[in-house]
Structure 1
Amino acid sequence: MPFQLSPLSPTSTAGIPQAASDEGPERRRERTRASQLMKLLRHGDITVAVLAGLAVACWLSFAVWMPHHRGLWLWAALVHGVQALHGWLFWSFKRAGRSALAHPGTWLRHYEVVVFLSGLSWGVAPLMLLQDVRWMPLVPLVLVLLGLAAVGSHKVAAHRWTIYLWLVPLLMPVTAFMAWLGTPTTLALAPMTGAFLLACLYVAIGRHRLLMKELQTKLDNDALVRALRQQVTLVEQANREKSRFLASASHDLRQPMHALGLFTATLEKRLQGTALQPLVKNMIRSIDALEQSFTSMLDISKLDAGVIEPNLQPFPIRDLFRVLHMHCAGQAEELGLGMRFKAGGKIVMSDAHLLERVLSNLIHNAIRYTQEGGIVVVARTRAEAISIEVWDTGIGIPEDELPKVFDEFYQVDNPGRDRSRGLGMGLAIVKRLVLLMGHQLEVSSKPGKGTVFRILIKATPFDEMDNIAVAADTVPSPIDESRTLLLIDDEESIRVGMSDLLQTWGYKVLTAATIQEACTEVRRHAGVIDIVISDLRLADGEDGIDAIERVRSVYGAPLPALLITGDTSPDEVKRVHSSGHQVLFKPVRTKELYAVLRSVP
């Protein structure tokens, strides 16, 4: 049987709760009846106990004066029998639990019968208990019935028919009985009882309307909550599908980008000093631009995955400003912009590497949006904090745009999404990194005059820079040209490109496409293997982490290993970092790969 999909196909909404708009009138009536039933039987045990106690008090009082009155015991049997029926109904409902709410109409009909019989059993009490109409207990008995009517009408107000089935059998017989007797006392009480019956009906029906309005409002809110939950489920499903798509697309795009970068780096080395070298350099610039875009998205993925942990240490801001000046001043000078740094001898407690990334993003952002004037980076002392500020004389940001500047892919004054002006991810990364380090971030701006970003860092207990000893940079030893490297990747173009590049660096390269081929290469190679480089996602579901472990097992020693992956989903980012191996994300910059290989002992 062929599988078909249509706009109304249930497959498209699998696992999604039914929409509130799908709830028909009959379903809504059932939900209304179920809610009414819950209100009526909510305290059924207490109601039965109170009525039983009141009935016992009544017939005991009459038994003291009329021990041989047959009607007394008939009434006692009647009223307690109805109360037993009421108790059985409540017990059955409680035992049925949630399943009883599936058929609320049946239970409501049973309850109506019990209410009618209960009201009637109390309503005939004067007829069965009074032998002499001139006897004084008539008035107290009528007062008891009036009290039951008042209290009971409040109890049964949730259902309109139960109001009539309680009040009419309760007060109509005694009203008619007193009018029929025709004594001055009963003729005075009869219209008063009838008026009280009408008043109770009026109040109970008014309360019923309020309860129904409240109930309908609750049902409407429940419908809205269900609709909201459905929309949340749809959004979560769409987000999961988007994440899967982006992860797959990112991986598939990074593979050829990675191979292209390897081939271009090899080509640059071979064409060095020729007429084609400028062309290759332009190709490398284009590849670098793409790599920066991928790197920005990767940084967001790493931050969302929670794999970046800040290492907060006290250090002089002066050293960081020197590095930033070396990296950024040349670009500003090319554009005719001034750039000044003023550390002011401040010492901060932060992560030097992450703070450098934050300030670098802010400075490059300031350069991008400044046509004339310049940028000033300064550290100032504020109340219990050090404020590192980046001032520019750029185009500025309108006040209503300030909350949006830290959103992903948002750029001020770039509605056309000009790629030469970046992706709009820099400030999103800045926000995440500043919050990760526990600092505060402020921004203020005046359109046409400039913008200032402030990073507020809690003050350190160090007062003078001389108290801090800054570690010197270590210089890695040059690569030993006799080294051997095992490369595992299922993409032939990447194996070829990586091999050519590594060989230009002096490595002997063993290549393999699968775990089995890698193990075979290890057994076949008689010498030492210095490092293993493996792609994370191999063909036929094989995994790079497993490949490294298998190679180590065959080799018989814990070889240094490097994972390379194009998968930037948060779960995969967490997994590769928790593996303990060094990780590079495609497309890998050649200088980054070179630095990692040099650092291997």
Structure 2
Amino acid sequence: MTFRLSPAATLPHPDGGLEFALDRRRARVRSTQLERLLMRSRQQLIVAFALAAVLWVGDWLLTRRPEAVWWGLLVHGAQAVQWAVARAFHRRGRAALVESATWLNRYQTSLFLSSLAWGMSALMVVQHEPSLLIVTVWVLALLGMAGIGAHVVSAVQPAIYLWVVPLLLPLVLLMLQRGGPVQVSVAVLVIGFGSMAIFFATSMHRLLKTALQTKLDNDALVRALRQQVVLVERADREKSRFLASASHDLRQPMHALGLFAGALDKHLNGTALQPTVKNMMRAIDALEQSFSAMLDISKLDAGVIEANLQSFPIRDLFRVLHMHCSGQAEELGLSLRFKPGGKIVTSDPQLLQRVLSNLIHNAIRYTREGGVVVVVRSRGGQDSIEVWDTGIGIPEDELPRVFDEFYQVTNPGRDRSRGLGMGLAIVKRLVLLMGHSLEVHSRPGHGTVFRILLKPTEMAEMDSVVLGADTVPSPIDEDRTVLLIDDEESIRTGMRELLQTWGYQVLTAGNIQEACTEVRRHAGVIDLVISDLRLANKEDGIGAIERVREAYGAPLPALLMTGDTSPEQVKRAHESGHRVLFKPVRTRDLHTVLRGIP
């Protein structure tokens, strides 16, 4: 089997494509016109049938002459042909629109026959009428049918002439043949009325055609827009899959490197090579911070982070922020002041701390002299937490973009030492998640202020919030056994060496079958299962944990580790109920989590 792609096969000729589009447009216009004509033909035929019956029956009852009866049979026969065409069209349904030209010709033929039958009334009935009153009734009936019918068939321009001309022309010829002043005046009146009917029907036709073409153009634009939306969504999904796969593949060796560095730091403690290892770990930490920023975005997009709103004194949060941020400000010779103003706010203390920490670090980064002030005040009936700086400021045209991912105002060269530009993107998502509003105002050369607007707290009492201190965990003294499941040999080796330095006994497996074998082979107690989420051969870490628990016969504590940051996988990992760490994992974070598992 051969498959070939070539420009000739994929790109149609421009002229051919344009001609095809015009033919398609004409066909759609014709189909819509036909549909409009035949959908309204039933009502027209019912009215015309009733009027014709009244005319010929009334004439026969008054004069007892057979000409009116013969005309009635003629006009009703023509109407029956019209009805048959309309009924056949309705029975075919949408399939008839494929042959719109054929059906339009059929309808126009039946319309001409019906119009001609009405016009023959002048020669078959009116010509033999001695009563001026009866002639006047017939003339008015014909004029009325001409005007109403022209309006009904105005969707197709030829149909206007096919209806009006055969209907009125015999009457005009009859009046002119008689030659009297009254008859000539009637002929002129009929000609004028027919011309006006054609003029107004033609004007209506142009309006309908313009509206129809506009509707078709809008429909085409909507279809094109929907197609583009589908293509954009598909491209976005493909991009997400690519980024998720690339992130996972990059995190795996990064995670292994961190594990080896942690183990090496433990072995070289106190030696001359320890400073080199420290520098290597700082570089690894920088990479981990970059990965963590992207992971935060994925978690927020996946909806796995929920805000826990509560009321608390803002001064407690400011104390923690001062402890974390004052060192950086002091190194740069900047002042950092906090003014809580005795305020009690309602927010998520952990997420708000993350938001303010990002804003403060961002302000310090772009401030060369002066300092940063964080203040809480009442503003427009709301509590406003404001971060002021005396930095370089942001140009007005750049303000709408400062919350975009990977965007930095003064870093077009993407200097990695100045961060990724993800901090404000995370701030925006977290603020909206907590239901707050965010404002930014800046003057280039004078500084910037970020405002977080919160609803005022109305609670008289509040629950106390204890913020955990950033302390180094104590070493693990217990001798515990861990089963590690990961399809990467380098990660299994690095994790085993690191965990052994912490006093763990480590069992390793590359897939579910090996993990179950290790469980059956191990005679002692297994305290914990650590598994990668994505294993080889489409195996799954969540399923691996369940299989290990079945083989062990007890609900073992479990920890999931993954480098997959797609929103779907992030949400799925959190919904599994297991503890989750995202690669690359800092040894300090891993140590803290392991100490917290009973």
Whether TM exceeds 0.5 here: the answer is yes
Instruction: Give the alignment of 1:56-95 within 5 angstroms.
Output: 56-67=53-64, 69-95=65-91
Instruction: Give the alignment of 1:40-439 within 5 angstroms.
Output: 40-67=37-64, 69-130=65-126, 131-439=128-436
SS at match of 2:554: coil
2:590 aligns with 593
Q: Which amino acid aligns with 2:170?
A: P
Does residue 564 in structure 1 map to residue 566 in structure 2?
no
Q: Distance in 2 between matches of 1:360 and 1:540?
A: 42
Whether the aligned pair in 2 keeps the contact of 1:316 and 1:468 (CA below 8 Å) is no
Q: Which amino acid aligns with 1:126?
A: A
2:503 aligns with 506
SS at match of 2:515: helix
Which deviates further from its counterpart, 275-284 or 512-521?
A: 275-284
Whether the aligned pair in 1 keeps the contact of 2:57 and 2:69 (CA below 8 Å) is no
Q: Which amino acid aligns with 1:565?
A: T
How far did residue 219 of structure 1 move?
2.4
Q: Aligned-pair RMSD on alpha carbons? A: 2.1
1:45-78 deviation line (CA, Å, top 9, x unaligned): 21121111211221222122023x2221111122
Instruction: Give the alignment of 1:18-29 within 5 angstroms.
Output: 23-29=20-26
Q: Which amino acid aligns with 1:469?
A: S
Whether the aligned pair in 2 keeps the contact of 1:347 and 1:462 (CA below 8 Å) is no
1:240-292 deviation line (CA, Å, top 9, x unaligned): 21111111111111111011111111111111111211111111111111111
Distance 1:600 1:492, change over 3 A: same
How far did residue 411 of structure 1 move?
1.0
Which deviates further from its counterpart, 351-360 or 149-158?
A: 149-158
Q: Distance in 2 between matches of 1:478 and 1:78?
A: 109
Q: Which of 16, 20, 31 is matched with 2:28 structurally?
A: 31
Q: Distance in 1 between matches of 2:51 and 2:338?
A: 90
Q: Distance in 1 between matches of 2:558 and 2:329?
A: 40
Distance 1:22 1:506, change over 3 A: farther
Which deviates further from its counterpart, 187-196 or 377-386?
A: 377-386
Q: Distance in 2 between matches of 1:548 and 1:6?
A: 50
Give the fraction of aligned pairs with identical amino acids, expressed as a percent. Answer: 64
Whether the aligned pair in 2 keeps the contact of 1:20 and 1:226 (CA below 8 Å) is no
* Length, aligned pairs only: 592
Which deviates further from its counterpart, 248-257 or 154-163?
A: 154-163
How far did residue 381 of structure 1 move?
2.3
Q: Which amino acid aligns with 1:572?
A: Q
How far did residue 21 of structure 1 move?
6.5
Whether the aligned pair in 1 keeps the contact of 2:302 and 2:571 (CA below 8 Å) is yes
Q: Distance in 2 between matches of 1:215 and 1:472?
A: 67
Which deviates further from its counterpart, 284-293 or 77-86?
A: 77-86
Whether the aligned pair in 1 keeps the contact of 2:479 and 2:504 (CA below 8 Å) is yes
2:464 aligns with 469
1:530-550 deviation line (CA, Å, top 9, x unaligned): 110000111111000000000
Q: Distance in 2 between matches of 1:42 and 1:432?
A: 54
Q: Distance in 2 between matches of 1:566 and 1:7?
A: 40
How far did residue 410 of structure 1 move?
1.3
How far did residue 302 of structure 1 move?
1.0
How far did residue 403 of structure 1 move?
1.2
Q: Distance in 1 between matches of 2:477 and 2:382?
A: 48
Distance 1:329 1:8, change over 3 A: farther
SS at match of 1:42: helix
Distance 1:254 1:98, change over 3 A: same
Q: Distance in 1 between matches of 2:511 and 2:7?
A: 43
Distance 1:553 1:392, change over 3 A: same
Distance 1:354 1:335, change over 3 A: same
Q: Which amino acid aligns with 2:87?
A: W
Q: Distance in 2 between matches of 1:82 and 1:306?
A: 70
1:296-315 deviation line (CA, Å, top 9, x unaligned): 11111111111111111111
How far did residue 374 of structure 1 move?
0.6
Q: Which amino acid aligns with 2:400?
A: P
1:552 aligns with 549
Q: Distance in 1 between matches of 2:365 and 2:522?
A: 53
Q: Distance in 2 between matches of 1:477 and 1:43?
A: 87
Whether the aligned pair in 1 keeps the contact of 2:388 and 2:449 (CA below 8 Å) is yes
2:5 aligns with 5
Q: Which amino acid aligns with 2:357?
A: S
Distance 1:522 1:480, change over 3 A: farther
Q: Distance in 2 between matches of 1:437 and 1:398?
A: 28
Q: Which amino acid aligns with 2:121?
A: A
Whether the aligned pair in 1 keeps the contact of 2:111 and 2:162 (CA below 8 Å) is yes
Q: Distance in 2 between matches of 1:595 and 1:23?
A: 68
How far did residue 378 of structure 1 move?
1.2
How far did residue 457 of structure 1 move?
1.1
Whether the aligned pair in 2 keeps the contact of 1:396 and 1:451 (CA below 8 Å) is yes
How far did residue 471 of structure 1 move?
4.3
Q: Distance in 2 between matches of 1:46 and 1:414?
A: 72
SS at match of 1:528: coil
Q: Which amino acid aligns with 2:3?
A: F
Q: Distance in 2 between matches of 1:470 and 1:161?
A: 83
Q: Which amino acid aligns with 1:402?
A: L
Q: Which of 443, 457, 467 is matched with 2:440 structurally?
A: 443
Normalising by structure 1, report the TM-score. 0.95
How far did residue 196 of structure 1 move?
1.9
How far did residue 20 of structure 1 move?
9.4
SS at match of 2:269: coil
SS at match of 2:91: helix
How far did residue 93 of structure 1 move?
2.1
Distance 1:23 1:388, change over 3 A: farther
1:339-394 deviation line (CA, Å, top 9, x unaligned): 01121221111111111111111111111111111111111123432111111111
Q: Distance in 2 between matches of 1:300 and 1:147?
A: 72
Unaligned stretches of 5+ in structure 1?
A: 14-18
1:16 aligns with none
Q: Which amino acid aligns with 1:441?
A: L
How far did residue 499 of structure 1 move?
0.6
Whether the aligned pair in 1 keeps the contact of 2:475 and 2:502 (CA below 8 Å) is no
Distance 1:281 1:244, change over 3 A: same
Q: Distance in 2 between matches of 1:493 and 1:462?
A: 54
Does residue 540 in structure 1 map to residue 537 in structure 2?
yes
Whether the aligned pair in 2 keeps the contact of 1:20 and 1:224 (CA below 8 Å) is no
Q: Which amino acid aligns with 1:547?
A: A
Distance 1:468 1:306, change over 3 A: closer
SS at match of 1:563: strand
Whether the aligned pair in 1 keeps the contact of 2:57 and 2:68 (CA below 8 Å) is no
1:545-572 deviation line (CA, Å, top 9, x unaligned): 0000000111111111111111111111
